[in-house]
Chains A and B, each alone.
Chain A
Amino acid sequence: MRAETRRRWAIAGLTGPAYLWLTLTIFLPLSAMLWFSFQKKGPFGRHEAEFTLKHYEAFFTKAYMQDLTWRSLEMGLQVTVICLVLGFPAAYVLAKRIRGRWREALFLLVVLPFWSNALVRIFSWTVVLRPGGVLDGAVQFVFPGAPAIDLADSWNAVIIGLVHSYLPYMILTCYLSLQALDDSLIEAARSLGASAATILWRIVLPLAIPGIAAGAVLIFVPVIGSFFEPKLLGGTQGVVIGTVIEEQFTVVSNWPLGGALSFILLAIVLLILAVSYPFLKDRMRTA
């Protein structure tokens, strides 16, 4: 089968470079980090490989680690819920109440910041929220004598910044779901005498579930892995598992512990992805 052989070489030649690259720079590094998370010491100097579980044990014996992980999950949950509450109605208005060129333009306007530099956007909030900053100034201007607003270095600032970062994601996924929803379904329900609330609850929401689920996962996962957002906006309030992992690599140089914590975080992420895979699968295809 000469043609078959040619075909195999073509496939190998075409996919080889990309997948070799992915293997070398993503899959092998992840494996290496997994290996070192079971090692006593990181890849510094010459020493014998020595297997240990102590970095994983650290997570289970040190209460503050679990607290911080819990804090990260809480952060993820808060951001996701706020994004949903703000994003779904916005997506609905965009998909079902605005027509023609306006819709296209507004949709682009919503997703554009999401595609732009995340660090700069977080930075913009430090400018807005700092004491004597723009928000404070604006409040003082409208309500002279109001108590000074100091959101800088607070948990709320972290949440605001993260919502700002990820809200467009939720609007995007919900919008795609809602746009696919045929208007005649709503009209049919209306003709059957359903109230607006019933239509929303029994027709629109169930059909938008894939979009909501996709948005939720795609927000929750990166948020629990975030570190520079809490660091820049939260100050001392912004210590979460992400910042702890980061500091293992940049400050305290305990790479095996950082690796172990990363994999615990990754296990949590995988668990979430596994649960939501059926929803995600469809989305990925349409998005």
Chain B
Amino acid sequence: MSVVEARHVTKRYGEVRALDDVSLVFPEGNFFALLGPSGSGKTTLLRAVAGFVEPEAGEILLDGQDIAHTPVHRRNIGMVFQNYALFPHMSVFDNIAFGLSVRGVSRAEARERVHRMLDLVRLPGMEERKPRQLSGGQQQRVALARAMVTEPKVLLLDEPLGALDKRLRQEMQIELKQIQRAVGITAIFVTHDQEEALTLSDHIAIINDGRLVQVGAPHDIYENPGSVFAAGFLGDANILRGRVENGAVAVDGVGPVTPRSALPGQGSPAVVAVRPEKVRILAEPSGQACNRVAGRVIQGVFSGTSVTYIVETAAGVQRAFRQNAGERIHGAGEGVVLEWSPEHTVVVEE
């Protein structure tokens, strides 16, 4: 088990800063997600850890040693590529054994270790197949086995499930996590899929425009987003903008909205975010003390287990999520009231 750390890593492509002074610790045995939109720099960071990208400035530490300028093949990493990059001319066995064979491991030992890996990824007896004879999910497992058989210090995964269809993807998510737990390897994976990041990881780093936006445990980031971007990228969020007045945020046409946490000084602009599932949608105001905004239903999007209401309010279009517990569905054009507690109202940065 190993610790990976990036310190002030910067990488430019021409004028574009792909990574701008990023510092991040990937703890031992942790499943760490790098989440961000495409072009955010998350892949560049992963490839810098792998060694395919050489940072202009900064250090990459593996167990305390700077490896920023060490060639890839001397880093002892394992990597799973987006399209698996299985060697098409080799059998499954030879693919998995490749890393062992370049390390000079004996054929007998390699056989033993490959078998163990194939059992771990639940593909026993597939040794002699060629990659093109495997399904997408099977290829993914082989790629994982190949990356882990050399017992690398860190496992890097570049959108590992991106090429699978949705159902298979959910299955593999669970399995991937189980395998990582069982082996106890430090894993870093890149994804643009927020759900995947939430399901799989122990920690998430949100990256945008080459900068670190927020780092934390999935639940923590979800409940306490630090910025409008984090709130919107990881989950859905209603955003309300106003000015600080008497310990609350005065939103035009809505009135005071009370947040959970401390606010900047009187009169300065402030933004708050609230998750749609924390918002109750009612026909009449409840009379309880809470944040409240009136509006008119534009549409109720029914998806079986739930309804997501899109509501026009004085503070713009907002959303409310409601489990389908059998209540009447509000029709388009109906006047409604949205209510939520100050506890779920998070102050965020613009």
B residues within 8 A CB of A2?
69
With the chains together, A3 CA to B73 CA distance in Å? 13
A4 CB–B CB distance under 8 Å: yes
B127-150 interface bits toward A, Cβ cutoff 8 Å, 1 = contact, 0 = none = 000000000000000000000000
Q: How many interface residues does A have (CB within 8 Å)? A: 4
Expressed in whole angstroms, the minimum distance between the Cβ of B32 and any Cβ of chain A is 25
Instruction: Give chain A residues whose Cβ lies under 8 Å from the Cβ of B69.
Output: 2-3
A1-40 contact mask (Cβ, 8 Å, vs B): 1 or 0: 1111000000000000000000000000000000000000
Nearest-CB distance from B48 to chain A (Å)? Answer: 12
Whether a CB of chain A sits under 8 angstroms from the CB of B54 is yes
- A interface residues, Cβ below 8 angstroms from B: 1-4
B262 CB to closest chain A CB (Å) equals: 46
Judge if B71 is at the interface, Cβ distance under 8 Å: yes
Measured between alpha carbons, how far is A126 from B347 in the docked complex, in Å?
92
Q: Which chain B residues have a beta carbon within 8 Å of chain A's beta carbons?
A: 54, 69, 71
Main secondary structure of the interface of A (DSSP, over half): helix
In the complex, what distance in Å separates the CA atom of A2 from the CA atom of B69? 7
Q: What are the residues of chain A within 8 A of B71 when measuring CB–CB?
A: 3
- Name the distance in Å between A162's Cβ and chain B's nearest Cβ: 44
B contacts with A: majority SS: loop
Chain A residue at minimum C-beta to C-beta distance from B71? A3
* Chain B residue contacts of A4, Cβ below 8 A: 54
Within the assembled complex, what's the spacing in Å between the Cα atoms of A58 and B71? 63
A-B contact pairs, 6 of them (CB 8 A): A1-B54, A2-B69, A3-B54, A3-B69, A3-B71, A4-B54
Q: In the complex, what's the smallest C-beta–C-beta distance from A154 to chain B, in angstroms? A: 56
- Tell me the minimal C-beta distance from B269 to chain A in angstroms: 44
Instruction: Report chain A residues within 8 Å CB of B54.
Output: 1, 3-4
Closest beta carbon of chain B to A161's beta carbon, Å: 45
Residues from chain B with a CB closer than 8 A to the CB of A1 are: 54
| Docked complex Cα distance between A255 and B327 (Å) | 98
Q: How far is the CA of A3 from the CA of B54 in the complex (A)?
A: 8
Contacts of A3 in B (CB 8 A): 54, 69, 71
The docked-state distance in angstroms from the alpha carbon of A4 to that of B69 is 10
User: Residue of A at shortest CB range from B72?
Assistant: A3
Chain A residue at smallest Cβ distance from B54: A3
* Residue with the highest number of chain B CB atoms closer than 10 Å, among A2, A3, A4: A3
Identity of the chain B residue whose Cβ is nearest the Cβ of A6 in the assembled complex: B71
Minimum CB–CB distance for A2 against chain B, Å: 6
Which 4 A-B residue pairs are closest in the complex by CB-CB distance? A3-B54, A2-B69, A1-B54, A3-B69
CB distance from A8 to the nearest CB of B (A): 13
What CA separation (Å) do A4 and B71 show in the bound complex? Answer: 11
In the complex, A1→B54 CA distance in Å? Answer: 8
A2 to B54, CA, bound (A): 9
CB distance from A4 to the nearest CB of B (A): 7
With the chains together, A3 CA to B71 CA distance in Å? 8
Chain A residue, CB-CB nearest to B51: A3
Residue of B nearest to A7 (CB): B54
Closest chain A CB from B55 CB (angstroms): 10
Q: B53 — nearest CB in chain A belongs to which residue? A: A3
| B337 to A: closest C-beta gap in Å | 54
- Measured CB to CB, the closest approach of chain B to A267, in angstroms, equals 39
A67–B118 alpha-carbon span in the complex (Å): 77
Complex: how many Å from CA A4 to CA B54?
9
**Bound complex: CA A218 to CA B54 (Å):** 45
Assembly CA distance A1 to B71 (angstroms):
12
Q: How far is the CB of B60 from chain A (nearest CB, A)?
A: 13
Instruction: Report the Cα distance A2→B72, complex, angstroms.
Output: 13
How distant is A177 from chain B, measured CB to nearest CB, in Å?
Answer: 31
Complex Cα spacing A2 to B153, Å: 24
Nearest CB on A from B181, distance (A): 35
B67 to chain A: closest CB distance in Å? 12
Closest chain B CB from A17 CB (angstroms): 25
| Cβ distance A134 to chain B, nearest Cβ, rounded Å | 50
CA–CA, A100 and B71, complex, Å: 50
Bound-state Cα–Cα, A20 to B339, Å: 76
Q: How far is the CA of A108 from the CA of B71 in the complex (A)?
A: 47
Q: Which residue of B lies closest to A1 (CB)?
A: B54
User: Which residue from chain A places its CB closest to the CB of B69 in the assembled complex?
Assistant: A2
Q: How far is the CB of B70 from chain A (nearest CB, A)?
A: 9
CA–CA, A4 and B53, complex, Å: 10
In angstroms, Cα B47 to Cα A3, docked, is 14
Q: Residue on B with the closest CB to A2?
A: B69
- Give min CB distance, B306 to chain A, whole Å: 41
A228 to chain B, nearest CB (A): 44
Considering only CB atoms, which chain B residue lies closest to A4 in the complex?
Answer: B54
